[in-house]
Chains A and B, each alone.
Chain A
Amino acid sequence: MNDRVSKEMLAGIVHSAIKRGATDAEAIAVESTEFSVEVRLGEVEKLQEAASRGIGLRVLHAGRQASASTSDLSREAIEELVSTAIEMARLTSVDDAANLPARDDLAKEVPELELSDPEIMALTTERRIEMARSCEDAARSFDVRITNSEGGACSTVISRIALVSSAGFEGDYQSTVCGLVAAPIASEGDRMQVGYWGDRQRLLKSLDAPDVIGREAARRAIRKLGGRKAATTEVPIVFESSAAEDLLGDFFEAVDGTSIFRRASFLVGQLGEQIAAPNLTIIDDGLMKSALGSRPFDGEGLASRRTVVVENGILKSYLLNTYTASKLGLRSTGNASRGLTGAPIVGPSNFFIVPGVYSPDEIIGSVKNGFYVTEMIGFGFNAVTGDYSRGASGWWIEDGKLSFPVEEVTIAGNLRDMLHGIELIGNDLRFRSRIAAPTIKVNRMMVSGN
C-alpha cells in the first residue's frame, strides 16, 4: 500500500473547502487491506488480495449540503472533489437541521477499545488457507450425509478510518476483522440442504475454532433434511438466536431516528411508553472492548456511548445522529454512520437484546405446540406499519420437543404485537456481528403452510 492518508491531508482538504466559501466541511478517509481465501472440496478455489483507499468530503454552504468522494487521490482529483462538492452545495436547498455537531459535543479523546489485532495482521496466506480448509474439512467429515460443499472461506480486513471536520474534530483509528465460514451441503435422496455457519471477530483469539464452525455448519445442514410444510395455524414461535438477530435487525429500522423524523415508524411518539413485554431490554453500546460494532467516535466525531433503547419493555431512546437529533429536538446518541459518499446515516454500534436466564432447551421445552424458527428469508417487514411476514424454516415443537423439520412456510404478525408477546428470553447471547440476540419466544404468530 502507498503512504497512508494523513489527518494533515484531510485537514488540508477541509481548509481548502472553507477557503472556497464552504461554511463547514468534513473529510473522511477509509483505507483497507483485504485478503480472502476460498477452499472448496479441499482445494483452493479463490485467492484475493487488495488494498484500497478513498476520500469523502461533505460541505455545508449557508445551510445547503452536498458531498463528493473519490478513489483517485491525485492532486487534480482532490481539487475536483472540493470544487464539485462546493458547486453542488450551491444548488441544494437550505436545510436548517443540516449542521456539523457542536464543538462541545465532539469526542475529546479517543478511548482504547482494542479493535486491532496484530495476530490478524500477521496471518500468512498459508495460515488462512489452512483455517479455511480445516473449517470445510470438519464440516465434510461430520456425517456421511454431507455430500457436497459450497466451500470454506477465511477473510481478513485491516482498515483505518480518519476523520477531520471544521467543527474542530480530528481523529483516526485502525481495526481488524477476521471471518471464517463454512457452507457444507447435506443430501438425502434427491433433496439437498445447505448449512451456513461462521464467526467474525476483531481478535483472532476470540474467533471460534475452524472445526467448531465446520461442525456447526454441518449440523445445521443435516437438521434441515426431510423438511416439510406445516399446517396453517397460529402458534407460539421460538426464534433461535440467529433468527432473533434477524428480527432485531428489522427492529433497528423502527428506532432509527431517520424513520422517526420521517414518521415512517410504528414507534413514532412512543418514547416513555411500554412498547414491549417487561422482560425486554435492548442496548446499543459502542464502547464494548474488541466488539465488531465498537468505534472510538462515530461518523461525525462524537464520542461513542452506551444507549439504553428499551428498558424493561419501555422505549427509552431512539438512535440518532446530529441531523435526526436536530429534526426531533433531541441530542445525538453518537450513532452517525458514514461511508465515503453522502451525509451520515444512523447505524447501530453493538445493538443487542440483554440475555435472560433460560437455556434454549428450556425455552423449547415450554412450548406444547409451536414452531422453532432457525432461518428466515426475504424482506417482509414494513417499519411504517410494523407488519411482518417472512419465509421461515426450522423445526416443529410438540410437547416441548423438536418433532420434525419444517420448510417452505411463512410466519406473519405485527412487530408491535410480537414485542408485547415476548414471553421468554434465552441466556445464549453471542456477538457474531454488530447485531446480537439470544433465543426468544413470542406468544403467537400466524404460520402459513398447507
Chain B
Amino acid sequence: MIDPIRFFTDKFNITDAQIESLLGTALSKGGAYADLYFEYTVLNSLGLEEQIIKSANRAVRQGVGVRVVSGERTGFAYCDEIEIDSIRKAALTAAHIADSPVEVGPVSVTPGRPELDLYPVSQSLHETSLEWKIERLQRVDKTARAVDPRIREVQTSIADEYKIILIATSEGVLIGDVQPLARMRVMCIADDDGNLQSGVSGGGGRVGVEFYTDKMIDHYANEASRQAIVQLEATDAPAGTMEVVLGPGWPGILLHEAVGHGLEADFNRKGTSAFAGLVGQRVASELCTVVDEGTIPNRRGSLNIDDEGNQTSRTVLIENGILRGYLQDKLSSRLTGAKLTGNGRRESYRHMPMPRMTNTYMLGGESTPEEIIRSVKRGLYAVQFGGGQVDITNGKFVFSASEAYLIEDGKITAPVKGATLIGNGPNSLTKVTAVANDLALDEGVGTCGKDGQSVPVGVGMPTIRIAEMTVGGTK
C-alpha cells in the first residue's frame, strides 16, 4: 500500500517543511483559511468495437490546486508542475483574494492517515496487464453475441483510474488517500431487419481485478443484449400523468435529481434551492428515508476522505419524509455553522471543491415488489434509465427511462420506447405510496456533473410506487 505523503515526497521532493511554508504563502495576504491539493492520477481505457481492440489510451494527470478563503470569497489557482516554485506562484495568486497583507510564518501540519479503509484491492486495474483486459473485453463480445443472432454489434470498454491525493490545510491537517476506480461498459445494437435498438450495461467501483469475474462479465454482456432485444418489440410510450413503479437499483437516479442536488449546502446557504429553509418540514411521504453514504466499501461514490481531507459519513437527508439536513463542504459549513458531512468533492486539482453527493439511496420498506406491481391498474414500470437533470431553483427534474413496460391490471405487459419522466423535487416524493423490501445499489456506473465538474457517484433504491408522475411518451 502506497503512503501518499511518502509518494509525493519521494517522487517530487516535496517535504513537510515546504508544504508548511507554502501554506504560509497562501495566507500572506490575510486569508482566513488555505489548502493545497496534490494529485497524481493515471487513467487507462481500452475499447473493443467491431470485434477488434480499437483503442488503448493512457493519461497521466498531475498538479496542485491552491485555495484561499477569506469570508465568503475564494481565491483559487493551480499548476501542472509539482515543484516548489510553481506551487508558490499559484499560492501567491490565490492569496490575493484577501487584501490585508500580514506576516505569516510557516503553518505547521501534522501528518495523519484516513481512519477508513474502504477500498483495499489485491491488484488495482492500472497495474494489470493489457492482455488480461483484452481477454475480459473479448469475453463480453462473445457472450453478448451468443445471446441472440440479432445482436449485430457490441462495443465494450474497460476504464480505470488510480488517483493519489494529498491535502494540506492551514488548520494543520496533512492527509492523503489512494483511490482506485474501475468501470466496464457494454453497449449492444440489435438489428431485426432494419429495426435497430440499443442496450447498455456495465459496472464497477473502487475495486480491483477480482471484481471482474467471468460471472460478472457475462452478466453485463447478457444484460446489454437483453435490453436491446426487448426494445425491438417496444411500442410507443404513453403520454400524460400516471402511476409509476420504479424498479430497484439504478432508478435511484430519481433521488439524485429530485432531492440530492437540491440538498447540497451551497444552494441552500444562498437560498437558491427549492429546498432552502425546509429542514424539519415534510418533503416526502413517511415511507421515505433517504441517505447519502460515502462509507460503503468499494462503491463508486465512496471515499475514505473527501477532497478537503475530512472523513466521509452517512448523512440522513430525509427521515420518514421529514427533511433532516444538507450535504456540506467546508465553506458552507464554516459560513453556516453546520456540521461537516464529508461531501466536499472536486473533479481534479484544476477544480475547486464544492458540496457533492457520494452514494445516495432510499432505505427499503415493507412491501414486496410483486405486491406493488399487482396493485397498479394502469401505469408505467421503469427499470433502466439513462441520464437525468434538475433545475435546483424551481425543483423541476427529469430522468429518462431506457427500459420500461406498461402495467395493465396488475400485470407487466408490453415494453415501451424510451421516455423522459418529469417531476417537481420538493413534492415528487410526497407521492410515494409504497416502498418495497428489495433495496439495491446501482452497479457502479454513475457520473454526476455540476458546474462543469464530473465526479463518480452511486445511487440506490428499492422498488417504489409513485401515485402520479408525468411520462413523456407520444401516445
Contacts and interface: CB of A to CB of B under 8 A. Distances in A.
A227 to B, nearest CB: 8
B422 interface: yes
B396 A407 contact: yes
Contacts of A49: 76-77, 93
Interface of A: 2, 40, 43-54, 65-73, 77, 80-81, 84-85, 88-89, 91-95, 98, 148, 150, 185, 191-194, 224, 227, 229, 232, 262-264, 340-343, 377-380, 382, 384-385, 387, 389-391, 393, 407-414, 446-450
16 contacts: A40-B72, A50-B93, A89-B56, A192-B274, A193-B394, A263-B189, A264-B196, A341-B57, A342-B45, A378-B400, A380-B419, A389-B420, A390-B398, A408-B470, A410-B472, A448-B241
A43 B45 CA distance: 43
Contacts of A227: 394
A262 B54 CA distance: 13
A44 to B, nearest CB: 6
Contact of A93 (B52, B394, B424): B52
Given A72-B60, A92-B55, A93-B53, A50 B77 contact: yes
B37 to A, nearest CB: 13
A232 B474 CA distance: 10
B8 interface: no
A421 B134 CA distance: 46
Nearest to B267: A150
Contacts of A412: 237, 239, 419-420, 472-474
A64 B197 CA distance: 30
Interface stretch (B289-297, B301-309, B385-393): B385-393
A185 B395 CA distance: 13
Given A385-B196, A389-B472, 15 more contacts: A66-B56, A68-B59, A68-B60, A69-B59, A148-B270, A192-B274, A192-B394, A194-B394, A342-B55, A342-B57, A380-B400, A389-B419, A407-B396, A408-B423, A448-B471
A181 to B, nearest CB: 12
B56 A67 contact: yes
Given A50-B90, A377-B389, A92 B54 contact: yes
A389 B237 contact: yes
Report the 4 A-B pairs with minimum CB-CB distance, sorted nearest first. A410-B472, A93-B52, A378-B398, A391-B398
B56 A232 contact: no
Nearest to B422: A391
Contacts, number: 250
Contacts of A46: 73-76, 352
Contacts of B56: 65-67, 88-89, 91-92
A227 B395 CA distance: 12
A50 B59 contact: no
Given A46-B352, A263-B196, A377-B391, A389 B400 contact: yes
Given A52-B350, A384-B196, A410-B420, A70 B60 contact: yes
B80 interface: yes
B57 A72 contact: no
A418 to B, nearest CB: 11
A242 B403 CA distance: 30
Nearest to A34: B350
B61 interface: yes
A71 B239 contact: no
A233 to B, nearest CB: 9
Contact of A229 (B43, B153, B350, B470): B470
B400 A192 contact: no
A93 B73 contact: no
B190 to A, nearest CB: 10
A66 B57 contact: yes
Contacts of A449: 240-241, 470
B78 interface: yes
B280 interface: no
B115 interface: no
Interface string B16-52: 0000000000000000000000000001010001001
A190 B57 CA distance: 50
Contact of A380 (B196, B270, B418): B418
A193 B393 contact: yes
A410 B470 contact: yes
Contacts of A50: 76-79, 90, 93, 350
B101 interface: no
B419 A382 contact: no
Interface residues of B, number: 77
Contacts of B75: 46-48
A40 to B, nearest CB: 7
Contact of B60 (A71, A391, A411): A71
Given A148-B272, A378-B387, A448 B398 contact: no
A390 B387 CA distance: 11
B256 interface: no
Interface string B90-112: 10010011000000000000000
Contacts of A47: 73-76, 96-97
B417 interface: yes
B270 to A, nearest CB: 7
Given A46-B74, A391-B396, A391-B420, A232 B240 contact: yes
Contact of A71 (B63, B237, B270, B274): B63
Contacts of B81: 2, 72
A385 B237 contact: no
Nearest to A261: B50
Contact of B54 (A65, A68, A80, A448): A65
B77 A48 contact: yes
Contacts of A70: 59-60
A49 to B, nearest CB: 5
Contacts of A413: 474
A446 B239 contact: yes
B131 interface: yes
A57 B130 CA distance: 19
Contacts of B93: 49-50
Interface string B336-356: 000000000000001010000
A414 B61 CA distance: 41
A192 B272 CA distance: 8
Contacts of A53: 80
B241 A263 contact: no
A140 to B, nearest CB: 14
Contacts of B386: 379-380
A289 B72 CA distance: 41
A379 B389 contact: yes
Nearest to B133: A91
Contacts of B423: 408
A382 B418 contact: yes
Contacts of B418: 380, 382, 387, 389
